[in-house]
């Protein structure tokens, strides 16, 4: 009886340990994602600043086609970056699972 209870307690503790390990991995993954998002934000802020300076210097010579193309390309790059992050996340989840 006591041995059975002890085995149950050990099993519960193992399950809790595995849950903690899973949560620790998730926290690490989330920290990496936050770091990537911060880098992306800094990159976007830099690009916006450069574009703003470019526009300010050319107030009377604005090439709207060029600006629209840059905005469209930037959006595409952002979409691709998001897809890459999602795939990396899926790969991490699969790695953790197996």
pLDDT, tens only, 65-89 = 777 787 778 778 877 888 888 888 8
Task: Check whether 93 has a pLDDT greater than 90.
Answer: no
pLDDT, tens only, 12-57 = 999 988 888 888 888 888 888 888 888 888 878 777 777 777 777 6
What's the DSSP call for residue 84?
Answer: H
DSSP 3-state of 61: coil
78/74 Cα distance (integer angstroms): 6
């Amino acid at each position: 009886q006591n041995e059975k209870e002890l085995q149950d307690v050990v099993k519960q503790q193992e399950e809790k340990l595995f849950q903690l390990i899973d949560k620790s991995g998730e926290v690490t993954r989330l920290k990496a994602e936050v770091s990537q998002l911060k880098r992306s934000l800094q990159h976007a802020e830099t690009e916006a600043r450069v574009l703003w300076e470019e526009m300010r210097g050319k107030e009377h010579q604005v090439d709207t086609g060029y600006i629209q193309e840059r905005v469209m390309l930037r959006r595409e790059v952002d979409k691709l970056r998001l897809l890459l992050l999602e795939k990396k996340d899926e790969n991490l989840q699969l790695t953790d699972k197996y």
